[in-house]
Amino acid sequence: MMHGKKYILTTSWNAPKTAFTLENEFFDQKSVDEGVMFGFHRMNAFTGMELIGTHHFHDMEKNADVPLELENYSGFLNKITLKM
């Protein structure tokens, strides 16, 4: 159905990154891609799509460093552009 198509995933979270990586935290040491977005990635794989990259913004409500996040996101986009 979608064979040969590629996708990227960008998400934003109010949760800090450590909520995904620390033991006994809510997300049980599962990254965004291994946990919350796992089903989304499997659905895309089922349809024949290929993941070329993910970028997740964390702690965006209280502690966001917007200039740094934009710089990191720009770097991410430049990196994945090379894969296309």
Structural domain contains residue 1: no
44 falls in which pLDDT band (50, 70, 90)?
very high
Q: What total of structural domains would you count in the chain?
A: 1
Contact call for residues 60 and 17 (beta carbons, < 8 A):
no
Q: Which residues contact 55 (CB under 8 A, 6 or more apart)?
A: 8, 9, 10, 72, 73, 76
Structural domain contains residue 30: yes
3-state secondary structure of 18: helix
Residue 52 belongs to a domain with what CATH number?
A: 3.40.50.360
Question: For residue 82, what pLDDT is reported?
Answer: 81
Question: For residue 47, what pLDDT is reported?
Answer: 96
Structural domain contains residue 11: yes
pTM of structure? 0.84
Q: Token pair for residue 12? A: 């934003």
Q: Token pair for residue 31? A: 């990254």
Q: Tell me 54's DSSP state.
A: E
